[in-house]
Amino acid sequence: MKLSGTSFPKTLRVLAWIGAVVAAAAALRLFHLGTQSLWCDEAGGLRFARYPIGDLLHEMRVHHEVHPPLYYTFLHYWTNLGGQSERWIRLPSVIGGTLTVGLVFWLAEECGADFQSSIAASTGLACSAFAISQSQEVKDYIFAICAGVIGTALFARLVRKPGTRLAILYGTISVIGFFLHYLVALIWPAQLLSALTCRRPRDASKTTSEFWRAWGIAAAIVFGGLALWAAVFLYQATAQDFSLFRATQWADLYRVPLTLLCGATWSIPANIMHWPVIIIVLGAALLAIHAGYRSLEPLYGRLLLLTVFLPGVILFSMSKITSSHVFWAKYVSFSAPALFLLIGCGLVHMRSRPLAVLVAAILLGTNTVATYNRYWNALYQNQDWRSTGYYLQAHARANDLVLVVPSMMIPPLTYYYHGAAPVVGADITPRYLAPRLARARRIWLCEPPNHPLAQRAKVPEYLLRHAHFITGLQTQSVVADHVLLVEEFSHYQAQAPQATPPPTKGKSSRGGG
């Protein structure tokens, strides 16, 4: 079997098609870029970018941050360059997401796909609601996806034209991807397994031996880079309690791929989560994937197929065997370009043209619904910490207390709120929470409405349990939307605490835990 990729004709028409798809991807990712406020993951990452570079690793260790430092280092210099407005700090993600769409053309060429297939694949990724959401977040995922595309394309070329320089480049990109997000390493087994299981013709023995020699050089670079970071990685892996995440369920086996196909950052829109729609979308995608796999040479088809499915199998198995519940769409997002490339090849090479048009309409239609939800439906947008911060700025006073539950919601609030009232996490120990509650004239409780405390009858019970000397709580006003609830409590009598608590070492009134 001849392992040779196709070469796209570099005509003006071809370049115009590529430019049009990339421009459309950029427009979809720039649209409404600064409309939604930062959510907790974005603001939490921005917090690390604010630290001096010399203190970054220490602060990541103190706060049990499980992401690698490369993106935070870049974000540190980016914010120093242009400030910390939502649009500016999200702009690199837009650039990374747009670049990823353009790189799909290169990946398609290296994997032997024709130009029509690359157009279909890149268009699908450009219109993907999941990819758009990743490209509008202050997070490292989209850059890791971009590095994964480059690494996969380089691996495909390394198999066809093994060489030392290419091996060094492939190994270096793999290490960079690892330092953008650790889970990028899940595509390495897919690459290795595709090379091990592919049948080669007898006259390819020389090329095969050259490939394994080149792969050995790349592997040495990869494992050398990982060895330098092994101690930090092991500490981060053991310091984070992944059992706090929602437990992995068998239903995630269809939820996660459905999110990659037509979902948002973490979830699938409710107007898509109906069994007939689920079956139709997954069935259409499988038809396209099967046709795409058959249209490619075995090595490249197997490489893309393993890249799509093997990371999910690994994470799902690990989540079910251990208490590390890490089977989420974000954590297998690095397989999205390979997924859309297989689908694009399938749409072009399906034997039935009407069926191909129907499959394309199903996938494009569901992504249009999900993208509409992201832009205009408040039910699927970030918690509105911007409005909350401005509301508290206007109403909270220095002798009030802003109580946030859970504490991980403090960074997005303090990004917008810079008032005099102290901000405290509601889940800090009662020893520190009680005296703060006793001194406060009013308590402003900020919480997601689906939190257990959102049932208003439980709020006084909670506060009394953590500060038993407070009596007479009354709700004065409520400010609420679909995803965030702000409640004001005042006009209560408080007894003085029995003893003065010890000083709060290392705890700031804005820290919260």
Looking at residue 146, its pLDDT comes to 96
Positions in the chain whose pLDDT score sits under 50 = 1-4, 201, 468-477, 481-482, 491-513
Q: Give the separation between CA 114 and CA 99, rounded to whole angstroms.
A: 20
Q: Give the separation between CA 385 and CA 395, rounded to whole angstroms.
A: 15
Looking at residue 264, its pLDDT comes to 72
Looking at 6-109, which runs of residues are DSSP E strands?
none
Looking at residue 492, its pLDDT comes to 42
Q: Strands 485-490 and 474-480: what pairing?
A: antiparallel
**ω into residue 452 within 30 of 0, thus cis?**
no
Q: Which phi and psi angles does 287 have, rounded to 5°?
A: -60, -45
**Sign (positive/negative) of CA torsion 144, 150, 153, 154?**
negative
Looking at residue 455, its pLDDT comes to 61
Largest CA distance in the chain: 89
Looking at residue 505, its pLDDT comes to 38
Looking at residue 412, its pLDDT comes to 93
Name 475's bridge partners: 489
Whole-angstrom Cα Rg for the chain: 26
Looking at residue 62, its pLDDT comes to 79
Looking at residue 202, its pLDDT comes to 52
Q: Where are the domains of the chain?
A: 17-380, 385-494
Both structure tokens of 489: 């409590």
Burial 399-426 (b: 16+ CB within 10 A, else e): ebbbbbbbbbbbbbbbbbbebebbbbbb
Both structure tokens of 30: 């720039």
Residues in contact with 345: Cβ distance below 8 Å, sequence separation at least 6, in sequence order: 108, 113, 117, 120, 121, 291, 292, 293, 295, 296
**Residue owning tokens 């120990």:** 429
Q: Give the separation between CA 199 and CA 490, rounded to whole angstroms.
A: 74
Q: Which phi and psi angles does 132 have, rounded to 5°?
A: -65, -45
pLDDT 10s digits, 167-196: 999 999 999 999 999 999 999 999 999 988
Burial 225-234 (b: 16+ CB within 10 A, else e): bbeebeeeee
Both structure tokens of 120: 């279909």
Looking at residue 471, its pLDDT comes to 45
Please tell me the chain's helix, strand, coil percentages from 3-state DSSP, rounded to the nearest 5: 65, 5, 30
**What is the helix (H) or strand (E) element at residue 355, kind and residue range?**
helix 353-376
Residues in contact with 268: Cβ distance below 8 Å, sequence separation at least 6, in sequence order: 255, 258, 259, 262, 370
Looking at residue 482, its pLDDT comes to 47
Tell me how far CA of residue 218 lies from CA of 191, 197, 477, in angstroms.
12, 19, 62
Q: Give the separation between CA 233 and CA 421, rounded to whole angstroms.
A: 38
Q: How many C-beta neighbours within 10 Å does residue 274 have?
A: 10
Confirm if 380 and 374 have CB atoms less than 8 A apart: yes
Looking at residue 351, its pLDDT comes to 92
Confirm if 231 and 344 have CB atoms less than 8 A apart: no
**Pick from 512, 488, 506, 324: which is nearest to 408 by CA?**
512
Which pTM value belongs to this model? Answer: 0.88
**DSSP string of 94-112?**
HHHHHHHHHHHHHHHHHTT
Looking at residue 218, its pLDDT comes to 95
Tell me how far CA of residue 214 lies from CA of 164, 194, 195, 227, 480, in angstroms.
6, 16, 13, 20, 59
Q: How many C-beta neighbours within 10 Å does residue 7 have?
A: 8
pLDDT 10s digits, 204-252: 556 788 889 999 999 999 999 888 888 777 777 776 666 666 788 898 9
Both structure tokens of 392: 């508290």
End-to-end CA distance of the chain: 60
Encode 174-214 in three state secondary structure: HHHHHHHCHHHHHHHHHHHHHHHHCCCCHHHHHHHHHHHHH
